[in-house]
Amino acid sequence: MSRKICITGLGSKIGQAILEQCARESDTLFLQYRKNKPDLDKLSLPDKIEVELLQVDFNDAVALNDFCTKISKCDVIINNASEVITDILPMIDDNAIDKMINVNVFALIKICRAVIPYMSSKRKGTIINISSIAAHRANRGQTVYAGTKGFMESFSRALVAEYGARGIRVNCVAPGPIESGSLMEIMNYAPDEINQSILSKRLGKPKEVASIVEYLISSSAEFINGETIKIDGGFIRGL
C-alpha cells in the first residue's frame, strides 16, 4: 500500500538513516532539510518511490506555513528536525533561544496541527517525534534544549488524549549518545567520559534509532500509543 510520508531533518545522519530504514516501494516522500542537503544517490532507497526534497528553514514563519500546507495530507509524519545550542542559561542569547523554540516547539506544533484533520478524517495516521534523552537526564548547558524536548513528549501524550480514539498514534523516540550531530564534537575531547557513562560502552548508531522508528510506524506497533522509547545504551550519568 502506498503511503505519503514526511521526514524532517534530513540533513542529519539520524534523518537519513530513518529514510533508508522506512522508505518502501510506491511511497511518496516529503523530505525537509535546512542547510545540509542530503545526497540521496548515496542512500539505499527503493527504486519506485516519489521524492520531493524541500529546503525549509523552520525559523522562517512563511516558509514553515507553506511546508505545512504541502504535507497536510501525509499518512506518516516523522519530526526529526532539531536545533541544539548548548551553554549555561545566562550565556544563551535570545536569538539562540528563539531558534530552539522555533524548530523544536513551534514547528512541531504547526506540523502536527496541519496533518491532524486529514488523519482524523481517515481515522488513521502515525506521528513519530524524535525527542532526546536530555528530556529525562539533562546536563549542564541543556536547560532550553532539554525543556523543548520535555515539551515534545508532553505534547505528544496530550495529542494522543485528543485524537488517539480517532486512529491517530503519536509516539516519541528519545535517542541518547548516538554517533551523530553535536555529540561527535564532544567525542573529540572527552571520549572517555562519554564511554564511561554508557553501560553498553559504545555510542549508538543512527540505524539503531531508525529501526525503532520503522517498528513504530508499522502495523506491528498499532497497540503502542503515547509512549516514549529511550534508546541510550544504559546511559546513567550524563556527559
- Residue 174, SS3 per DSSP: strand
On whether the CB atoms of residues 126 and 3 are closer than 8 A, the answer is no
Query: Per-residue pLDDT averaged across 89-112, rounded?
Result: 97
238 torsion bin: left (phi>0), alpha (psi -120 to 50), beta (else): left
Structural domains in the chain plus CATH codes: 4-231 (3.40.50.720)
Which strands make up the sheet holding 228-231, listed edge to edge?
50-55, 28-33, 4-7, 76-79, 125-130, 168-175, 228-231
Q: Does the structure show a pLDDT above 90 at 189? A: no
Q: Does the structure show a pLDDT above 70 at 99? A: yes
On whether the CB atoms of residues 62 and 38 are closer than 8 A, the answer is no
Return the half-sphere exposure (C-beta side, CA atoms, 13 A cut-off) of residue 11. Answer: 14
Q: What does pTM read for this prediction?
A: 0.92
Name the helix (H) or strand (E) containing 6.
Answer: strand 4-7
The pLDDT tens digits for 193-236 are 566 666 667 788 999 999 999 999 999 999 999 999 999 888 76
At CA 181, angle to CA 139 and CA 110, rounded to 5?
85
Give the model's confidence band at 140: pLDDT under 50 very low, under 70 low, under 90 confident, else very high. confident
Q: Of residues 33, 145, 163, 189, which has the active-site annotation?
A: 145
Q: Strand 50-55 and strand 28-33: pairing?
A: parallel
What pLDDT does 59 receive? 98
Q: Is 163 a catalytic residue?
A: no
Grid coordinates representing 131 are 525527542
Grid coordinates representing 214 are 520503522
Q: How many other CB atoms are there within 10 angstroms of residue 188's CB atom?
A: 7
Amino acid identity at 177: P
